[in-house]
Structure 1
Amino acid sequence: MIQLTLIFMCYFSSTFAENGEVLGSRIITNSSGKVGPMYFKSADGFWMHLHKTRSTRPKVLDIQNGNCIVDGKIVGSPCAVQEDRTVITFNEVTNYEVLVLENSIRFYIVYFAKDCKFPTPKDGEIIVEKSIPLYRFLGGKTEENVVFAMKGTDRNGIFLRREDSIICEWKDSNSETDECPNLIVDEVNGLIIFNATFSKANDKDYETLIWGKYFRSISVNLDWTNTGEAPEVKACGKSDD
């Protein structure tokens, strides 16, 4: 069951992880040096691809013989698909802005943003800063508030997915399901906001939330078991609390 609360906000405003181990989405804020190993929770493999902002041609990331491969070249190691997770490493910070890993259940996203500085979003693009941290350590908690935001006012086609189920869809700003309220549309600042408080389900220790439009989405992971701090918290000036 989801307890949803809408808040108006202006634009300016092994199978389980050990404590402190991130197993999902994150932001890489350093500009040079090795990245990883990064771990992504899943019992299945992923389709993995790298993007440059506003580019229409993603680059496929493959794992072969313990290496990460892009365009036939080794870009990092160790890389592996293990029983309960996928391991990704870059020998040097990539010149791409986004890494996406997706399968039928999970969707993870890694942003590469030096000092947590993102390009100014254009209409239809996610405002990443509103959703930081992307990995929430929630051991001992039973609910968590998450904010999602998108630049622009075109709200058609926006959805919210929880694990492999779409639980909210909107046409215009109106929800098409009884469970979800309408979106907040800030016409003055050109901004769409969705603010929700998610309650822990009794049978869930880990969940993935995906919000946005197809090909323009963001994911936030809720780790209800472990404690720690997401890697971007200090650089981005955000708090897990």
Structure 2
Amino acid sequence: MDLYDDAFLYDLVHGPIAGAEIVSFLLDYCKVYGSPVLELASGTGSILLPIAEAGIEIRGIDLSENMLQACRRKAAERGIRAKVTKGDIRDFSLGHRYPLIIIIGNSFQHLNSLPEISAFFESVKRHLEPDGRLLIEVFNPYIPLLNREMGIRYVVGEFDGHILTEDVNYDQATQVTNLNWHFLHRTSGRERSLSFSMRQFFPQEFDELISLHGFEIEDKFGDFDRSPFVSGSPAQLVVAKVRNN
């Protein structure tokens, strides 16, 4: 089963609502550039909902109907009107331009090929205001993870009575990591497995891809605490704008 077919297990690992540091970072940019904000791959609303709760007009698109339903359900529980629709980040048309477009939670890494990446940036350009900003977060590749022996399960942790293990297969030719997550319920003994893939973007390659697609990097952080990006940073968090030729 695909990871995004099970919103419950997804939220079990990632948390139903994003951490305060992430939300604070994003709200700062929302306040500077204004609204409405567009979140791509908005998932179950872990980022969209706290931003909406802060009074920011925000719209989300996601390819998974299961994720969208979970987002709407959480919004109703919190008394929020969530504007989310089904859409593909590789090719979307919303009939509106936005001062701020965000794609957080490493969702950009599900674009596994160069044509998909190019299509994404073209879609973003069509929807970004002339002086707007794009915020992208991806992992900083962790070499020990990529070098794990194929088929060996590693323990990730325990989440609400579910023991999570994972096995990883990294393809050096495509730079795509294929992951399987296995959730073992401690009480019932039932196990469910979810699969997903993530392309790895090495730092200089990531910067160059952004530049080649007509964007200029304004800031690059290593985490949501605004620490500078260095070799040991957990994330590559880029703030970019369309380059004026």
What TM-score range do you get, normalising by the shorter chain? Answer: under 0.3
Greater relative contact order (Cα < 8 A, sep 6+):
1
Alignment TM-score, normalising by the size of structure 1: 0.27
TM-score by length of 2: 0.27
* More helix, by proportion: 2
**The structure with more strand, counted as a fraction of residues:** 1
